[in-house]
Chains A and B, each alone.
Chain A
Amino acid sequence: MLRNSPLRFVFPIGLYIAFCLDGSVSQIFSKQLFGSQSFVPCITLMWLVFGLLFENEINLHIGLWAALIGFIMDMFYFGTLGVYLFILPLTVYVCRFLYRYLSATFISGFLMYFIGLTISMSFSFLANRFVDLANITATNFLVSVLGPTLALNLVLFIITYYPVSLLFNRYREKS
């Protein structure tokens, strides 16, 4: 019964839409988002974390999807392969590890996303620093990239938490 849950199709479609929204939001709000401080939207990662929070007993293979969407992101958005291909599954792994020790509440989801964001942003900074694509110092990164990004994405998380939980519940019940 659970194997035929429509969530198995809804989750990847939502993941791809989230991936597209990442770019579109950056494009449309580029004036507001990329000034002297950078608010980088991480909607794809948010969708993955939502998947972890709401999958319950259905196995959605989130790690595999994370690797796949990470690869597409590397290819299409950044042009540098091998960055998000590993960062997204790593983040999913760490979040799942944390989730085992936390109760399934909004606050623990919030905390998971906070930690996941910090990991993914820091590792992508390190990787880009390594190939010399990022030309900012670590202090600068913390203050003008990581801080604003966390603020933006956590607000987005709070806003979308309830609607997304309804969406997941609805498609789970249909099974």
Chain B
Amino acid sequence: MHKFFSNRKLVIVMVCVVISIGLMTFSVAVRNRKATPPLIQQFGNDVAGFTNTIVSTPVNLISNGFGSLGSLLNTYQQNQILSKRVSQITSTQVRDEALQRENAKLKSQLKLNDTLTSYKAINAAVITRTPSSWQNQIIINRGENAGVKKNMPVLVDTGLAGRVSEVNKTNSKVELITNNNAATNRFAVQVNATNGKVINGIISGYNKTTGLVEMGNITAKAKIKVGQKAYTSGLGGITPKGLYIGKVAKVSTDDYGLSYKIYISPAADLNDIEAVTVASRAQ
């Protein structure tokens, strides 16, 4: 025992391991309980975020240049397909406007101000991404100053992308829905079934090889068609209702054959995000 403590290197190693575990536990506890990290960490993150843009902005510009060159080659084909859809969209838009107006009128008659569907949008650009295999996390250039709060849902133009996991003054971290870890907050999701019923569930995981999001904790048994749209249900607080997630790709039972599991193919391309919208529910 005496020799054990006289060995200086061993003591250093032990102290380092203890400090490391302590710090890790501390940051996990802060992540679970507090809305923002400690002030020193926030300050450090803000400085790092600012200086990081000096490197990341030119790099992103170059890659965007290559990206637009690539998309230029596809433009003709895309134009042909899209021009066919324009006429459909105009009619939908007109109808949408009419419905929105009607909705506003009905709400004012009922004295309903904000329902589950209403939210304010905060636009942000992606600065960088966590270089990690298991933490699918991006860092965006809007933070507490712009009104971003922890746990707010984050959208890309095509659908739901993830959730704000840490807020600093000028930047924040976003955990994507492809994240598979236990600390991820899950989204409450709805899918329309064939008989007019609505199936509720929670996003429970992501399969890396198939690229499908799993929806578990399903309450009711009803027939669900492949291709149905899945969207957030607005239950459980901060997420607004009706954020589009993706289409149902497969329906199966879970490992024990007792409950359903729905596989959703996400609408957003979660490995190619340049700009995001943080949905802040009006409160």
Q: Residues on A close to B: CB < 8 A?
A: 16-17, 20-28, 30-31, 34-36, 38, 40-42, 72, 75-83, 85-86, 124, 127-128, 130-136, 145, 149
Contact = CB atoms under 8 A, between A and B. Distances in A.
Interface residues of B, number: 54
Contact of B128 (A27, A35, A128): A27
A23 B180 contact: no
Contacts of B54: 20
Given A24-B59, A79-B31, A82-B20, 13 more contacts: A27-B127, A31-B272, A76-B45, A77-B130, A77-B131, A77-B139, A81-B27, A82-B23, A86-B16, A130-B24, A131-B183, A133-B134, A133-B182
B51 interface: yes
B272 A30 contact: yes
A79 B272 CA distance: 22
B181 A135 contact: yes
Nearest to A21: B55
B28 A23 contact: no
User: By CB atoms of chain A within 10 A, which of B51, B133, B135 has the most?
Assistant: B133
Q: Is the interface of A mostly helix, strand, loop or mixed?
A: helix
30 contacts: A16-B51, A20-B54, A20-B56, A21-B59, A23-B56, A23-B139, A24-B55, A26-B131, A27-B138, A30-B271, A30-B272, A31-B272, A42-B131, A72-B44, A72-B48, A75-B48, A76-B52, A78-B135, A82-B24, A83-B20, A85-B23, A86-B16, A86-B17, A130-B21, A131-B183, A132-B181, A133-B134, A135-B134, A135-B181, A136-B134
